[in-house]
Structure 1
Amino acid sequence: MIQLTSLLRMRAAHTGNAQRASQLRHLHLSDQPLMLLALKQTGPAARPLAVMLGTDPHRPQLLVAPPSGSTGPMLAALADTVTAYINACQRHREHLPATNNKPARWRYTDAPQILVPNPQTVQHLKDLGDVLRFRSVDDQAPGSRAVQCLGHWLTYLTDRADLPGSAALIPMTSFLGMHWISGQSPLEDEDLATLLAWIDPPRHAASGRDAALEAEDPATHRPAGPATDAPFDNDHLAPLFDAYARARRRALDQEQPRTLQELDRLLATYLQPTWDLMWQAYTLLQALPEAKSTARRWDHERTLFTDECTYLTQDGRPRPARDNAVAAAVRLARMEHAAVAFAAERTAEDPFVRAELRTTGKAFGGTVTTIDAEHTLRGPSGRTQWRPRLTVSTPDPVPMEPGQLLACHTYRSARYKICEVTPADGDTLVELEITAGMGTMDRPNHAVLPDAGAFLVFTIAPAPYRMPEFPAREQTPWTHGGPPADQPDHSNEGEGEEEQ
């Protein structure tokens, strides 16, 4: 959204309080999500410093990696916690009957949902998954196989986070920004503390703006991760890291545990405010009414989770570090389809989204003035087809051309074709013909006929989607991941022998 979002952002800046940008919650929220906060050390992107996670707001689990040395024990503990949460989603199954396209099958009744503070944490988990899933398994080392499995699941979850409408791994700032608009810049909205201050300021604050200014006080404000701020590194972390290094050099067995305990207390104090904010945001989002299409998307999420569990059991090989050309094209096509489908469902269900489309000329709203319920035409085969027509008077500009297919939020199964656009006194008259969803001459569906005087909003109908056909890897040139140019093609060997 552009124009309406800009207007709401200016209104929020003027009033000092965030503005609602949606009447519905468009992503599923689990009754027991796994909250996960992560901090990384300065240096290698995937080296973790600490993780706070859990499903109970009052009992978070803190895992801290030592300043130097192996992170194996910390990653093993993280793997145990995440794997236990994922395994809990596999306790119950449901049977799915056969359909025209699919045989009878089963799927899990639940799927994991991990909530993180911001998109930067998603990227950190993606980097961590890229490293861990390729680690060799040492059966003599406890937790080695669990850590590799953790890398597999992190890769799966972060891949799902790239798809619009997915609820497997959600950055909380993006989730909140989908439903509220603050008076600060989009870049500032990536800070959970200030964004939540705009949306849900404490009682003592005069406005969300005042609460945000208080929340970003450099003396008390701490980023939600995964990177820490420089003053915290210099004033707090560096002295403890130096003390730990001196204790290791001098082999002071009592000093090292004491330093690690101080580090645990320091990082717990650092992460606890963000932990509380995450649950505050969760409560706000859970109170929003859920859109109808959310349940269908969560069913799809459970199906994909079931398929991933099956893959991990039967095959289990790690995903490649880089997609080949065909796999990348398939992934891009799925992302584009997910974005279009999610946008269409939000448009059909949320008046805020439709209002934005009306400001950009991709939709118009108006009053039904006349209905010709008996209108018919002769089809290509010569048969008479029922094609009701209606005229809509709208004050909105209608830059669309005749022949454009439209959808209406009130009649989801119907499709409308613009027949004629006629400027009138102050308004525009748009003649529409119902082309889908109205049934046949023998069995007409009169439910798609609106009443005269009804106010309807028409949007551009999404084009029907069909997954493009992509070549196999062996059929792509070597420049795009196929066989080397100097390698002979033996793909057809043996065909003649079989025919004989």
Structure 2
Amino acid sequence: MSSLTALARALAVRAQAAQPITTVRHVHVSDRPLVLIPLALAGEANAPLAAMVGSTVDEPRLLLVPQPRNRDQRFQFAAELGRVIVSYVDGFARHQEDVRGRRRFAEAPQLLVPNPGGVDFVRLFGRSTRLRRTYGEHAVKPVVPLLGRWLTFFAERAEHPGSSLMLAMTSALSQHWATGQSAMEDANLAALLAWFGEDPFEGALAAEDPEIWPPAGPATDPTFDSATLMPAIERYAKTDADSSARKMALERLSVALRSQLEPTWQLMWRGVAQLRSLQPGATVVERWAEDRDAFTNHVEYLGSAGSLPQARRDSAVAAARRLNRLERAQALFDAQRALDDPLVMAEFRLTGEAFAGEVVAAEPNRLDASGPRRKLRPHVTVRTADPLRLGIGTDVQCPSRRSQTGRIVAIDGPDVVLELTGGMGRALTPAPGSVPEVGEHVTYGTVSTSFQPGGNFPPVEDTPWTHGGPPPPPEPTEEDAVEAWS
């Protein structure tokens, strides 16, 4: 927890309301997201029990598995869920736009789950379905492995910093607001959203009662499991020969599961409205464009001949490359958030990586004649009260002038002298407004979105023996679909 977030939590207790820790929204919120609330059977690894799914608040669809330990019913559930998700995804794979000489889909799907546990469920369920056979023994419907490949795609993008293709609601809200409770309590969606109401203390207390606010999944309440769920499942299991009794038992089970999912369904859409109350940051558009690129690439790959499902495990080189991509994406995301948002930049000011102050002197027309040709190199002096841990020669950037670089050339007490380059036009006279004026409040820091080259990794065929040597060419086998919970 950062110092400012800790302060915001204290202020939230005093004000009895969630406190903003950002000034803008740093995630994209689709006009038509698909909300997915999964439930899993307790005591069984990744055994789906039910799911509520839909793209509008008034039309939730309940899918359930009457006997979660029954393999056929589990994959029937997967087929039903697959038809919903694949149909939703296909709706975005129609309209394209021209970008940098290539075609890209104009929009992309967005999957919303209540919490990180929902992301884990999607990842594991995708892993257990994408490698299934559509022929031979234990054949599944063609939509099942396709669902698995899409769920794996969403889960992988959820790990990518700055991606909005799949969001956990508790994480997205906690990224923008601080409450007066612990991070563990913020993982409870009902308790978290209580801080946006009139009486957060009473609301958070009510959130601890599973009869009022059932868990948001994928785990269910133990009391509900023993008192309601298991009797309902057993009642259904005893009605094999009686279709009328089976229909009634299925209806009772459906009512019981709906009672667990509908409160969370309403909370999810409250969370969507809360996120939409913030204006998006300037770089959200860029990151959503990258998400659309990733979506377009995956659609094209699925449509290509001989495309294989994602491997169960990355090879050594693939894992290293993926980790490098994620690390660079995290650094870029942190920089973009700081440049978009003064509250995020304040964290860098506290650590001495940035400073803010008033321009007390400026030489906008200063020329550097030390080289063969004169160059425009204005000097500005910024007076700051922030703790400064940057030395002479450090390059800094201003959020309001991102195409311009400042270099610290002198430090005299609270005054920092900067030499500016770039972002002023090509003439020896700076364009109006391109150089900070005396009296202007500015912020400078080492936070930068400049390109970071990727790491140098050997080709797959040259994988060192210390990392397993060159992997064999991928050849899907029957064992690929076998999991510990199968």
Superposition TM-score, scaled by structure 1 size: 0.89
Note closer, same or farther for the CA distance 1:142–1:324 as it changes in structure 2 (3 Å cut).
Answer: closer
Which position in structure 2 is the counterpart of 1:182?
A: 179
Which position in structure 1 is the counterpart of 2:127?
A: 130
Cα deviation for residue 19 of structure 1 reads 0.5
Partner Cα distance (2:162, 2:12) in 1: 26
Which position in structure 2 is the counterpart of 1:41?
A: 41
Look up the equivalent residue of 1:430 and give its one-letter code: V
Note closer, same or farther for the CA distance 1:143–1:91 as it changes in structure 2 (3 Å cut).
Answer: farther
Partner Cα distance (1:347, 1:368) in 2: 21
Which position in structure 2 is the counterpart of 1:352?
A: 343
Q: Does 1:230 align with 2:222?
A: yes
CA contact (8 A) 2:133 2:140 kept: no
Which of 378, 395, 402 is equivalent to 1:388?
378
Alignment of 1:207-226 (within 5 A): 207-226=199-218
Alignment of 1:402-413 (within 5 A): 402-413=392-403
Which position in structure 2 is the counterpart of 1:78?
A: 81
Partner Cα distance (1:294, 1:224) in 2: 28
Which of 464, 467, 472 is equivalent to 2:454?
467
Which position in structure 2 is the counterpart of 1:493?
A: none
Look up the equivalent residue of 1:272 and give its one-letter code: E
Which position in structure 2 is the counterpart of 1:93?
A: 96
Which of 340, 360, 363 is equivalent to 1:372?
363
Which position in structure 2 is the counterpart of 1:494?
A: none
Cα deviation for residue 148 of structure 1 reads 0.3
Look up the equivalent residue of 1:54 and give its one-letter code: G
CA contact (8 A) 1:45 1:124 kept: no
Q: Does 1:54 align with 2:45?
A: no
Which position in structure 2 is the counterpart of 1:63?
A: 63
Q: Does 1:257 align with 2:247?
A: yes
Cα deviation for residue 14 of structure 1 reads 2.2
CA contact (8 A) 1:415 1:461 kept: no
Counting aligned pairs with the same residue, the percent is: 38
Which position in structure 1 is the counterpart of 2:142?
A: 145
Partner Cα distance (2:447, 2:78) in 1: 48
Cα deviation for residue 313 of structure 1 reads 0.6
Cα deviation for residue 457 of structure 1 reads 1.1
Which of 301, 304, 312 is equivalent to 2:294?
304
Cα deviation for residue 63 of structure 1 reads 0.3
Cα deviation for residue 442 of structure 1 reads 4.8
Q: Does 1:342 align with 2:324?
A: no
Of the structure 1 ranges 279-288 and 460-469, higher mean CA displacement relative to structure 2 is found in 460-469
Partner Cα distance (2:210, 2:299) in 1: 45
Look up the equivalent residue of 1:154 and give its one-letter code: L
Which position in structure 2 is the counterpart of 1:167?
A: 164
- Secondary structure of 1:144's partner? coil
Which of 396, 399, 419 is equivalent to 1:433?
419
Which position in structure 1 is the counterpart of 2:475?
A: none
CA contact (8 A) 2:215 2:260 kept: no
Cα deviation for residue 48 of structure 1 reads 0.5
Q: Does 1:114 align with 2:101?
A: no
Cα deviation for residue 307 of structure 1 reads 0.8
Cα deviation for residue 471 of structure 1 reads 1.1
Cα deviation for residue 94 of structure 1 reads 1.7
Which position in structure 2 is the counterpart of 1:242?
A: 234
Of the structure 1 ranges 139-148 and 29-38, higher mean CA displacement relative to structure 2 is found in 139-148
Partner Cα distance (1:419, 1:114) in 2: 49
Cα deviation for residue 461 of structure 1 reads 3.2
Of the structure 1 ranges 451-460 and 461-470, higher mean CA displacement relative to structure 2 is found in 461-470
Note closer, same or farther for the CA distance 1:476–1:139 as it changes in structure 2 (3 Å cut).
Answer: closer
Query: How big is the alpha-carbon RMSD for the aligned residues of Structure 1 and Structure 2?
Result: 2.1
Cα deviation for residue 481 of structure 1 reads 3.8
- Secondary structure of 2:442's partner? strand
CA contact (8 A) 1:139 1:145 kept: no
Partner Cα distance (2:177, 2:404) in 1: 31
Of the structure 1 ranges 36-45 and 442-451, higher mean CA displacement relative to structure 2 is found in 442-451
- Secondary structure of 2:300's partner? helix
Alignment of 1:320-335 (within 5 A): 320-335=311-326
CA contact (8 A) 1:45 1:127 kept: no
- Secondary structure of 1:414's partner? strand
Q: Does 1:452 align with 2:438?
A: yes
Count of matched residue positions in the alignment of Structure 1 and Structure 2? 467
Q: Does 1:397 align with 2:397?
A: no
Partner Cα distance (1:33, 1:449) in 2: 42
CA contact (8 A) 1:113 1:167 kept: yes
Note closer, same or farther for the CA distance 1:34–1:219 as it changes in structure 2 (3 Å cut).
Answer: closer
For residues 18-77 of structure 1, give each alpha carbon's deviation from its aligned partner in whole angstroms, at most 9, with x where no partner exists.
111112111111111101100001233321000100012111000001224221221111
Superposition TM-score, scaled by structure 2 size: 0.91
Cα deviation for residue 216 of structure 1 reads 2.0
CA contact (8 A) 1:330 1:470 kept: yes
- Secondary structure of 2:87's partner? helix
Cα deviation for residue 444 of structure 1 reads 4.6
CA contact (8 A) 1:183 1:209 kept: no
- Secondary structure of 2:218's partner? coil
Partner Cα distance (1:435, 1:325) in 2: 42
For residues 100-153 of structure 1, give each alpha carbon's deviation from its aligned partner in whole angstroms, at most 9, with x where no partner exists.
xxxx22111111101110011001100001111111112999961100000000
Partner Cα distance (2:428, 2:389) in 1: 36
Of the structure 1 ranges 184-193 and 8-17, higher mean CA displacement relative to structure 2 is found in 8-17
Structure 2, unaligned runs of 5 or more: 473-486
